[in-house]
Structure 1
Amino acid sequence: MPITNFGGLLNFAEEMEKQDMAFYVSASANPEIHDLSDLFQAFAKDGKKNITHILRTRRENITEMILEPISDFFKKPFVLETGDDKNMDRDQILDHAKKMEARAIAYYTQGALKIKALPEVSQALKLARKKRTVHNNKLSSL
């Protein structure tokens, strides 16, 4: 399914953040990774902050929402199956978290390029990407 406008771009970002937050909240209670519980809870908090920032960006730029079309940008490469940490071991949980972060980084990078005509929106996506890059680096160091 194509993303054809500013609203669609931010709506999918919100969906992605909610999905990832749910995984992190659930996984933080999983005994397989009890030592990473605080880290995963922090990742979930960052997701909530990203959603808040994305929603604020959408509200503040609503007049441009209709005017700025996006072409050749599709959801499919960024769709990731919801992970069920209850049926995963430690390595699988960490692998899924890394996939989520890589997907988010790619989405925010490509999205920022597609919407560069709206600098405030592009900047919001870059900020979200920066947070997700920090997450990715922390996961890679484990």
Structure 2
Amino acid sequence: MPLINFGSILGFAEEIENQQLEFYNDVLKNSDCHACHAPFETFAKAAKKRVKEVLRVRRENVTEMILETIEGFERKAFLITLEDVSAMAPRAVAHNALELSNRSISFYKEAAQRLKGQAEVALALKNLAKKHGKELKKLQEL
């Protein structure tokens, strides 16, 4: 399904953040990942804040929704299907967490580029990419 405008891009951003939030919450339920509970709790809180930020950007820039049509931006390049995290080994959890963060960074950078004509929105998307970048560094340290 193509991401053809501001609304579809921000809607997909919300999906991405909710998927990551759900993943982190599921990791917290995995008894094999008890040793890394604290960082994943922090990641879950950050994901929840990012969901709110995406919703805020969408709400505050709703007039931008009807303007520019975007071509050639497909969500399928950013879709990730995850297995049941509750029984996953810690190494697999770490791999999936890194994959989710890398996907989010790529998506936000591409979305910011596609919406560069909407400076405020593009800046918000770049900031979301930076936040994911900081989280990625923390994940790599685990």
Structure 2 length-normalised TM: 0.95
Matching residue of 1:56: 56
In the alignment, is residue 131 of structure 1 matched against residue 131 of structure 2? yes
Matching residue of 1:7: 7
Query: Deviation string for 1:45-102 (max 9, x for gaps)?
Result: 1111111111111111111111122111100110000331123111001100010001
SS at structure 2 position matched to 1:81: coil
Offset, 1:35 = 1.7
In the alignment, is residue 121 of structure 1 matched against residue 121 of structure 2? yes
The one-letter code sitting in structure 1 at the alignment partner of 2:140 is S
For the 8 Å contact 1:30–1:85, the answer to whether it is kept is yes
For the 8 Å contact 1:23–1:83, the answer to whether it is kept is no
SS at structure 2 position matched to 1:117: coil
Q: Distance in 1 between matches of 2:45 and 2:31?
A: 20
Q: Distance in 2 between matches of 1:37 and 1:9?
A: 32
Offset, 1:131 = 1.1
Q: Distance in 1 between matches of 2:131 and 2:28?
A: 19
For the 8 Å contact 1:28–1:41, the answer to whether it is kept is yes
Q: Which moved more, 1:10-19 or 1:121-130?
A: 121-130
Q: Which moved more, 1:12-21 or 1:46-55?
A: 46-55
Q: Distance in 2 between matches of 1:124 and 1:47?
A: 15
Matching residue of 1:68: 68
Q: Distance in 1 between matches of 2:2 and 2:102?
A: 20
User: Structure 1: which 5+ runs fail to align?
Assistant: none
For the 8 Å contact 2:30–2:87, the answer to whether it is kept is no
Q: Distance in 2 between matches of 1:17 and 1:103?
A: 11
For the 8 Å contact 1:23–1:84, the answer to whether it is kept is no
SS at structure 2 position matched to 1:100: helix
For the 8 Å contact 1:109–1:125, the answer to whether it is kept is yes
Structure 1 length-normalised TM: 0.95
Matching residue of 1:91: 91
Q: Distance in 1 between matches of 2:139 and 2:53?
A: 24
What's the % identity of the aligned pairs? 39
For the 8 Å contact 2:112–2:126, the answer to whether it is kept is yes
Alignment root-mean-square deviation, CA? 1.0
The one-letter code sitting in structure 2 at the alignment partner of 1:18 is N
